[in-house]
Structure 1
Amino acid sequence: MTKRLRNTEVCADCSIPDPRWASVNRGVLICDECCSVHRSLGRHSSQVRHLTHTPWPPTQLQMVQTLYSNGANSIWEHSLLDPASVMSGKRKANPQDKLHPNKSEFIKAKYQMLAFVHRMPCREDDSSTAKDLSKQLHSSVRTGNLETCLRLLSLGAQANFFHPEKGNTPLHVAAKAGQVSQAELLTVYGADPGAPDSNGKTPIDYSREAGHHELADRLVEIQYELTDRLAFYLCGRKPDHKSGQHFIVPQMADSLDLSQLAKAAKRKLQSLKNHLFEELAMDVYDEVDRRETDAVWLATQNHSTLVTETTVVPFLPVNPEYSSTRNQGRQKLARFNAHEFATLVIDILSDAKRRQQGSLISSPIDNVVKNLAVRHGSDSQDNDQPDYDSVASDEDTDQELLSSKGDRTKSLDSDLSDGPITMQEYMEVKNALSASETKILQLMKANNNLSDELRLMQKKLQSLQSENTSLRRQVTTNIYHTPSGTDHPDPSSPSALKRRQSARASRPTSMYETGSGLKPFLSKGESPYPEEGVPTLQPFPPHVSKTCSLYCRRSRLRSSGWMGEGHSIPEQDDQESGSDPALPSTEDVIRKTEQITKNIQELLRAAQENKHDSFIPCSERIHVAVTEMAALFPKKPQSETVRGSLRLLTSSACRLQSECRKAAPSEGGGPGTDMQLVTQQVIQCAYDIAKAAKQLVTITTKENTN
C-alpha cells in the first residue's frame, strides 16, 4: 500500500526537489519544511501523509498523483500566475526563503486564507452560486477530469449536493460511472458513501450493480474509516469488511483503567446523544492522526539538524468551524498518556459497535462509523453546536478524564442494555412524549405572544432611533458652530454636557460570531495586542450554548483579565455608588448583535477579497451598530463582568477603526504598508468585538432567565 511517486516532483509551495509528503485534500506534494507549516494549520486546512512511511490506499495515492500531475497547484496559486502579480509584489516562496516568516506566511495565505484562489464574480445570492457550482460538479464527476472537480470544490461546490431533478448526489454518479479517483476526491471533501438517492440506493449499490466491485469495496472501507483507523492505531489490524466484519475492538480490557472514575467516564460516554458521540469520535480520530504523523515525522527527520519550530505539533490546531470550547477540549486530548488514550479509544470503538449493532432507534450510528468523510470536508459546517461542559483547567490531573454532564443530562444507565424494551418502558416514553407535546404547544403560544410584543418594541425602537439621530445632528451643530468668544466653554454648561453625551454615544460596541461560513484569517501566533492581555480568539458559536468537555473535569473559565487597565470608558470607571438599573432584554441584545454580525461579515468578506478600500466604511457601520448596542446597557453597571465586556467591546471597536484607516490609500496605506499584517490585525479586532458581544449576550441571557 506504500507506493512511491516519481523523484522528479518538486514541492508545490517552495519548489524544493523530491518532496516526501502530500496534502491529500489539496492534491499537492510538499517538502519537509513546508509540511511542518501544513500540519500547524490543522486537518481542516491540509491533510498530510508521508509518501513512503504512511500506509496509503492505492486509489487515494493515485488520485493525489493525478491531481498534482495535472496542475492542481495552479488552483491554489491562480492569481500568482497573472503577470500583474509580479508588479503588485505578490510572489511564490522559493527554496532560499526562511521557513519563518517567509514560507510559513505564504503557505498560510495560500491554504488558510485562500488568498490566491480564483474568485467568482460577486453576486447577491451566494446560495444560488453554490447551487450552480454543485450542479456543475454533479455533471463533471462522470468524466475523469479531476482538476475541474477540485476547482469547483475550491469555489464552493458541495460534495454532498443532492440534485433536485436527478434525485442523487455526485458520488452516486461517480460510482455508477466507475470513476474511482473522482469517488476518492469527493469523499475527501465530505461525500457520504452511504447516502441514499431518491430510490433508496447508495453509491455502494450503484457501483456493485455496474460491476465496479473494487470501487464498491473501497467505498465500504471509507464508510468505516474512523473506526478502522482507531483500531489500527491500537493493534495494527483492520477488520475484513468483505467477510462482514466491520469492527475490531482490541482485547486489552485487563490492562485498562478500571477505576471508578474510568467506569463513570464510560457510562457518560454511553449516555451521549449520537451527534455528540460523533463529534467526540471525530476529535479522537484527529488526535490519533496527530500522534501517528508525529511519529512518522520524527522517524524521517535528520535529528542532527532538527529545528525546534519544525519538530512536532504539540496539540490539535484550532479549527475555526468549531466553537472555542470544543477547540480547547480537542487540545486537552494531547495531555492523555498512552494508557489513558488507549482506554478512551477502546471505549469509543466499543460504543460505536454497540450503537450500530445494538441500537433500536431509527438513526443508527452508521453516520458515525462510516461518515468520517463528512468531517473531511473543510467547508462543512454544523450549526448544532456541541453540548459540552466547560473544559478542564491546566491544573487538573490527567486522571480526571470525564466531567459531569450537568443537571440537563440524566444518567441513562438503565436504558443502555441491549435487551428488548418492556411495555412499562414503552408507556413511560409515550407518556413523556405526550407531556412534551403539550408543553411545546404552550411554548409555541407563548412564543407567538412574545413575537407580537417584539414587533411592537421594534416599531418603538425605530421611532426612538430616528429621534436619537435628530438629537445627534443638533449636538454636532452645537459642537462645530459655537459663538465667537466661546472657544473654551464652561465644562458644566449644557453644551459641554451634550458634547460629552455625544462622545459617549459614538463610542463603538460589539457582537458575537453567528456562523457566517467565512473563515477568519487569524494567525496562530501572538496576539497583535500583547500589552492588553487579549489572547488569540477563536470563532464563537451562533447562539449561546452550555458547553462541556468529555473526558476532562469541569472547571469554570474566568472572564477576568481580558482587558488591561488602559482601556476603559469614563462612565464605567466612575466609582460613584448607585443602583444598577436592569440589564436590557436578551432579545434586544441579540437583535443588535445581528446588526453587528452583518457588518462584520461584510468586513471579513472584504478582507478575504483584498478590498482594502472597503475597510473604513465597514468599520464605521460597525461603530454605529456597536454604539447602539452599548446604549442598551446601564451607564454605571455594578457587575465587573459587564464592565469588562463593555470595555473590551468599545476599545476593540476603536482599534478596529484605527487599523482600518491604515489600509486606506488616503490615510497612508501605500506600497510600503504591510497589508497582510494590517488585514490580520483588522480581523483580530473584529473577533475581539465578537468575543465581547458574546459575553454580553451570555450575561443578559443568564440574568433574564433567573
Structure 2
Amino acid sequence: MSKRLRSSEVCADCSGPDPSWASVNRGTFICDECCSVHRSLGRHISQVRHLKHTPWPPTLLQMVETLYNNGANSIWEHSLLDPASIMSGRRKANPQDKVHPNKAEFIRAKYQMLAFVHRLPCRDDDSVTAKDLSKQLHSSVRTGNLETCLRLLSLGAQANFFHPEKGNTPLHVASKAGQILQAELLAVYGADPGTQDASGKTPVDYARQGGHHELAERLVEIQYELTDRLAFYLCGRKPDHKNGQHFIIPQMADSSLDLSELAKAAKKKLQSLSNHLFEELAMDVYDEVDRRETDAVWLATQNHSTLVTETTVVPFLPVNPEYSSTRNQGRQKLARFNAHEFATLVIDILSDAKRRQQGSPLSGSKDNVELILKTVNNQHSIENQDNEQPDYDSVASDEDTDLEAAASKANRQKSLDSDLSDGPVTVQEFMEVKNALVASEAKIQQLMKVNNNLSDELRIMQKKASRLEKQNSTPESDYDNTPNDRDPDDLGSSRKGRQRSMVWQGDGSVPDPAEPHAAPSPVLPSTEDVIRKTEQITKNIQELLRAAQENKHDSYIPCSERIHTAVTEMAALFPKKPKSDMVRTSLRLLTSSAYRLQSECKKTLPGDPGPPTDIQLVTQQVIQCAYDIAKAAKQLVTITTKENN
C-alpha cells in the first residue's frame, strides 16, 4: 500500500472529504455514499475497490493514483468545466446532496450515459474515427502520459487494437517500452497479455526481452487474474507463477460426493461447453465473486446503524445491457447459490480451466458437482418451481420497484440455505461470512420496508398530473442527466467496460424527433398543452401498470399502443428541431422509450420463435420503459413551464 489518502483528496463525484474507495477503470477516488451508487451500476460501468481493505497489486493502485492526481476526473466531467454549463443549469453533486435521487442521478449521467465527456465532431464513418483513436492510443502508450490514454479509451479507442502496419497491439508497445502503468490501464480496459504480434511474440516476451522483469511478472499475473481471483476467494492463496505453478484447485473437506445423474449431467455439461461459453461463465462467476467480496468489505467498513438501506443494496449482479437477457438472468441467479454450491461451482470452473489450458482430455473424475449450472442457462428445469418469482433486475438494482424482486430473491436464498444439508467444507464458514449481506434477515426486512410495490406506483402515477402543474421554475435536478444524442459507436460501445446509455431492441431504428435539415426553433408549446398530453400519457401508463399488477399480460400490447399514440401526439407539439439541448434529449428519451415499450410488449405474443418468453422479465422491462416515458414527460413539462414563465 502506497502512502495515500492525503487530507486534500476529495470524492470525484461530490467533492466530499477523505474518499475511501476507488473506481479503477475511471481513475477516480470516491466516498462511501457515491460508491454505493457505483456498485449498483455494475463492473462494466465502474470497478470499485476499497483503498485500505482490499488487496491491491501495487502497480494497479499506483496507476489509479496517477490518474487521479493528474486530473482524470476532468475526462468524465469535461462539459461541466465549461462556464456555459452553469448557464444551462448543469452542475455536479455536492456532499450535502441526498444519495437518491441527486447523487445517483448525477453519477449515472456521468458514467453510464457519459453525458459530460468530450464529444467528437460528427463523421460519416464512425469506424474510421475509432481506428484513428486506436492508432493514437497505440502511439501514446510508449510514454508515461496515462490521462491521455484514458481520454482516448473514453472516446472509443480499442485496448486490443491490432495495428495493421505495425503488426502489434498497444500492450506490445507499452511492454517493449517498460510502461508498467500503461500496461495496467490497458489491461483494465480488456487488453490481453497473451495476444501474439505479427512475429508470434506476446507482451510478456517483449517485457522480458527488454529486462522489465517486474512488468513481465505482472503481465503473467494479469493473464491468470480470473483463475487466481477464484482460487484466492476460496482458500486465500494464489499460485506461484514465478515457479511455473499457474493453478490452485481447492478441495472439499467432505467425502459425500454427489454421484446422482443430475450431478453427472451438470459435470458433463460444463465440460462440453465451447471455450467461448466456458469463458463467459467463468467471467460471470468472477463478477459474482467480486460482488460478494465487495459486500464483505462493505459490511466491515460501514456504519452498521445505517448500513441496511436502499442506498447500499446490491443483492445480485446488476444488468449489463450488452449481454443477452438469458445471460443476465443466469448471472443474477448466481446470488442464490449458497456457500457449498458456489464453492463447488468455483472449484469445477478452476478444474476445467486447468484442463482446457493444458489440453487434457475429458476425464471420469468424481469431483463433487452439486447442482452446478442448474440456473445458468435456459435448460434449468430444476428451477421451474421458482418461475413465479421475478429474478431479473432490469435497472441495475437502483430503482425502488426492483427491491421487491431483490427481497423475494433474498427470501428464497434464505430458505435454500436452510433446506440444503451441507456437509462440512473447509471454505464454508469463510464463504458464509461473505454471503451475509445476501442472506441476512435484517436486509430482507429493510428491503421490504423501503419497497414501493405496484399499487403504490399506481397511486403515484394518479397524482402525477397535479404534481406537474405545481412544478415551479426549478428543474428536478441541476444537471442534464438524459442520454447524450451521439451515436453509440462514437464511444466505442463494443469495447469491454462500456455500456450504451440507451439500448434499442426493436425491429428498426428509433426515430429522432429532430430532423437534420430543419432550422433550430426556440418556440415551445404552451405549458397547458404539454400538461394535457402528459395527463393522457399518465392515464395510459396507469392502465398498463394495473394490467401488470393483475397479471393481464394480453393487455400489454393495446396499452403500449395507446401510450405510443399519446407520446406521438405530445412530441408533435414541439418543433421538428428544438433549439434547446434539454428539449431534444427529453424528446429522444420519450419517443425511444415508447418504441422500446412496444418492442417489449410484443414479446408476449404466442408463437414467437426463439427461447420461451420469461414473462417476469418482460414485465420488469415494460415497467422500466413506462417509468422512462413518465420521466421524460415530466422533464418536458418542467422545461416548458420554465421557458414560458
Q: TM class, shorter-chain normalised?
A: 0.5 to 0.7
Quick one: structure 1 residues 643 and 300, their matched pair in 2 at CA, closer, same or farther if it must change by over 3 Å? Answer: closer
Quick one: structure 1 residues 603 and 216, their matched pair in 2 at CA, closer, same or farther if it must change by over 3 Å? Answer: farther
Report the equivalent of 1:301. Answer: 302
Report the equivalent of 2:109. Answer: 109
CA–CA separation in structure 1 for the residues paired with 2:297 and 2:351? 28
Q: Which amino acid aligns with 1:272?
A: L
Per-residue CA deviation, residues 551-606 of structure 1 (Å, 9 max, x unaligned), is xxxxxxxxxx9xx9xxxxxxxxxxxxxxxxxxxxxxxxxxxxx9965522x64999
Report the equivalent of 1:167. Answer: 167
Report the equivalent of 2:16. Answer: 16
CA–CA separation in structure 2 for the residues paired with 1:293 and 1:72? 24
1:699 aligns with 2:573: no
Report the equivalent of 1:254. Answer: 254
Report the equivalent of 2:568. Answer: 657
Does structure 1 conserve the Cα–Cα contact (< 8 Å) formed by 2:76 and 2:114? Answer: yes
1:192-203 alignment to 2 at 5 Å? Answer: 192-203=192-203
- Structure 2: gaps (5+ residues): 363-375, 388-393, 405-453, 459-503, 526-551, 613-645
Does structure 2 conserve the Cα–Cα contact (< 8 Å) formed by 1:2 and 1:52? Answer: no
Quick one: structure 1 residues 210 and 596, their matched pair in 2 at CA, closer, same or farther if it must change by over 3 Å? Answer: same
Report the equivalent of 1:525. Answer: 399
Report the equivalent of 1:84. Answer: 84
Q: CA deviation at 1:523?
A: 9.2
CA–CA separation in structure 1 for the residues paired with 2:95 and 2:341? 42
Q: CA deviation at 1:119?
A: 0.7
TM-score computed with the length of structure 1 as normaliser: 0.60
Q: Which amino acid aligns with 1:290?
A: R
Report the equivalent of 2:326. Answer: 325
Does structure 1 conserve the Cα–Cα contact (< 8 Å) formed by 2:521 and 2:578? Answer: no
1:54 aligns with 2:57: no
Quick one: structure 1 residues 216 and 700, their matched pair in 2 at CA, closer, same or farther if it must change by over 3 Å? Answer: closer
1:324-343 alignment to 2 at 5 Å? Answer: 324-343=325-344
Quick one: structure 1 residues 228 and 598, their matched pair in 2 at CA, closer, same or farther if it must change by over 3 Å? Answer: same
CA–CA separation in structure 2 for the residues paired with 1:203 and 1:668? 51
Does structure 1 conserve the Cα–Cα contact (< 8 Å) formed by 2:318 and 2:397? Answer: no
Per-residue CA deviation, residues 426-462 of structure 1 (Å, 9 max, x unaligned), is xxxxxxxxxxxxxxxxxxxxxxxxxxxxxxxxxxxxx
Q: CA deviation at 1:689?
A: 2.9
CA–CA separation in structure 2 for the residues paired with 1:193 and 1:295? 30
Q: CA deviation at 1:297?
A: 0.4
Does structure 2 conserve the Cα–Cα contact (< 8 Å) formed by 1:329 and 1:391? Answer: no
Does structure 1 conserve the Cα–Cα contact (< 8 Å) formed by 2:193 and 2:219? Answer: yes
Secondary structure class of the residue paired with 1:12: coil
Report the equivalent of 2:634. Answer: none
Quick one: structure 1 residues 523 and 88, their matched pair in 2 at CA, closer, same or farther if it must change by over 3 Å? Answer: farther
Quick one: structure 1 residues 17 and 595, their matched pair in 2 at CA, closer, same or farther if it must change by over 3 Å? Answer: closer
Q: CA deviation at 1:679?
A: 5.5
Does structure 1 conserve the Cα–Cα contact (< 8 Å) formed by 2:513 and 2:576? Answer: no
Q: CA deviation at 1:256?
A: 6.8
1:65-84 alignment to 2 at 5 Å? Answer: 65-84=65-84
Quick one: structure 1 residues 288 and 391, their matched pair in 2 at CA, closer, same or farther if it must change by over 3 Å? Answer: farther
Does structure 1 conserve the Cα–Cα contact (< 8 Å) formed by 2:193 and 2:222? Answer: yes
CA–CA separation in structure 1 for the residues paired with 2:28 and 2:304? 26
Per-residue CA deviation, residues 368-404 of structure 1 (Å, 9 max, x unaligned), is xxxxxxxxxxxxxxxxxx985478758449xxxxxxx
Q: Which amino acid aligns with 1:212?
A: H
Q: Which amino acid aligns with 1:247?
A: F
CA–CA separation in structure 1 for the residues paired with 2:343 and 2:308? 30
RMSD: 3.8
Quick one: structure 1 residues 658 and 118, their matched pair in 2 at CA, closer, same or farther if it must change by over 3 Å? Answer: farther
Report the equivalent of 2:282. Answer: 281
Does structure 2 conserve the Cα–Cα contact (< 8 Å) formed by 1:25 and 1:185? Answer: yes
Q: Which amino acid aligns with 1:686?
A: Y
Quick one: structure 1 residues 87 and 234, their matched pair in 2 at CA, closer, same or farther if it must change by over 3 Å? Answer: same
Per-residue CA deviation, residues 35-78 of structure 1 (Å, 9 max, x unaligned), is 00000000000000000000000000000000000000000000
Secondary structure class of the residue paired with 1:61: helix
Quick one: structure 1 residues 307 and 524, their matched pair in 2 at CA, closer, same or farther if it must change by over 3 Å? Answer: closer
Report the equivalent of 1:35. Answer: 35
Does structure 2 conserve the Cα–Cα contact (< 8 Å) formed by 1:522 and 1:684? Answer: no
Quick one: structure 1 residues 658 and 328, their matched pair in 2 at CA, closer, same or farther if it must change by over 3 Å? Answer: farther
Report the equivalent of 1:187. Answer: 187
Q: Which amino acid aligns with 1:149?
A: C
Q: CA deviation at 1:340?
A: 0.9
Report the equivalent of 1:599. Answer: 509
1:317-396 alignment to 2 at 5 Å? Answer: 317-359=318-360, 388-389=378-379, 395-396=385-386
Q: CA deviation at 1:312?
A: 3.5
Does structure 2 conserve the Cα–Cα contact (< 8 Å) formed by 1:294 and 1:312? Answer: no
Report the equivalent of 1:239. Answer: 239
CA–CA separation in structure 2 for the residues paired with 1:96 and 1:57? 34
Report the equivalent of 1:624. Answer: none
Does structure 2 conserve the Cα–Cα contact (< 8 Å) formed by 1:521 and 1:683? Answer: no
Which structure carries more relative contact order (alpha carbon 8 Å, separation 6+)? 2
Does structure 2 conserve the Cα–Cα contact (< 8 Å) formed by 1:325 and 1:390? Answer: no
CA–CA separation in structure 1 for the residues paired with 2:332 and 2:29? 27
Does structure 2 conserve the Cα–Cα contact (< 8 Å) formed by 1:2 and 1:55? Answer: no
Report the equivalent of 1:401. Answer: none
CA–CA separation in structure 2 for the residues paired with 1:217 and 1:315? 34
1:448-459 alignment to 2 at 5 Å? Answer: none
Identity of aligned residues (%): 70
Quick one: structure 1 residues 656 and 333, their matched pair in 2 at CA, closer, same or farther if it must change by over 3 Å? Answer: farther
Does structure 1 conserve the Cα–Cα contact (< 8 Å) formed by 2:285 and 2:334? Answer: yes
- Structure 1: gaps (5+ residues): 362-385, 398-519, 531-560, 565-593, 617-640
CA–CA separation in structure 2 for the residues paired with 1:36 and 1:661? 40
Secondary structure class of the residue paired with 1:25: helix
Q: CA deviation at 1:34?
A: 0.2
CA–CA separation in structure 2 for the residues paired with 1:95 and 1:521? 25
Report the equivalent of 1:684. Answer: 593
CA–CA separation in structure 1 for the residues paired with 2:249 and 2:514? 46
CA–CA separation in structure 1 for the residues paired with 2:235 and 2:225? 15
Q: CA deviation at 1:102?
A: 0.4
Quick one: structure 1 residues 84 and 255, their matched pair in 2 at CA, closer, same or farther if it must change by over 3 Å? Answer: farther
CA–CA separation in structure 1 for the residues paired with 2:159 and 2:73? 20
Per-residue CA deviation, residues 182-219 of structure 1 (Å, 9 max, x unaligned), is 10000100111000011111111111111111101100
Per-residue CA deviation, residues 87-130 of structure 1 (Å, 9 max, x unaligned), is 11101100111111000000000000001011101111111110
CA–CA separation in structure 2 for the residues paired with 1:180 and 1:7? 28
CA–CA separation in structure 1 for the residues paired with 2:577 and 2:215? 59
1:484-499 alignment to 2 at 5 Å? Answer: none
Q: CA deviation at 1:678?
A: 6.3
Does structure 1 conserve the Cα–Cα contact (< 8 Å) formed by 2:326 and 2:377? Answer: no
Q: Which amino acid aligns with 1:599?
A: S
CA–CA separation in structure 2 for the residues paired with 1:391 and 1:258? 19
Quick one: structure 1 residues 667 and 201, their matched pair in 2 at CA, closer, same or farther if it must change by over 3 Å? Answer: closer
Does structure 2 conserve the Cα–Cα contact (< 8 Å) formed by 1:649 and 1:688? Answer: yes
1:483-562 alignment to 2 at 5 Å? Answer: 524-525=398-399
1:177 aligns with 2:51: no
- Greater Cα radius of gyration, structure 1 or 2: 1
CA–CA separation in structure 2 for the residues paired with 1:104 and 1:604? 28
Does structure 1 conserve the Cα–Cα contact (< 8 Å) formed by 2:42 and 2:317? Answer: yes
Q: CA deviation at 1:271?
A: 1.4
Quick one: structure 1 residues 522 and 332, their matched pair in 2 at CA, closer, same or farther if it must change by over 3 Å? Answer: closer
CA–CA separation in structure 2 for the residues paired with 1:11 and 1:604? 38
Q: Which amino acid aligns with 2:302?
A: Q
Does structure 2 conserve the Cα–Cα contact (< 8 Å) formed by 1:176 and 1:207? Answer: yes
Report the equivalent of 2:264. Answer: 263
Q: Which amino acid aligns with 1:266?
A: K
Q: Which amino acid aligns with 2:73?
A: N
Q: Which amino acid aligns with 2:148?
A: T
Quick one: structure 1 residues 215 and 354, their matched pair in 2 at CA, closer, same or farther if it must change by over 3 Å? Answer: same
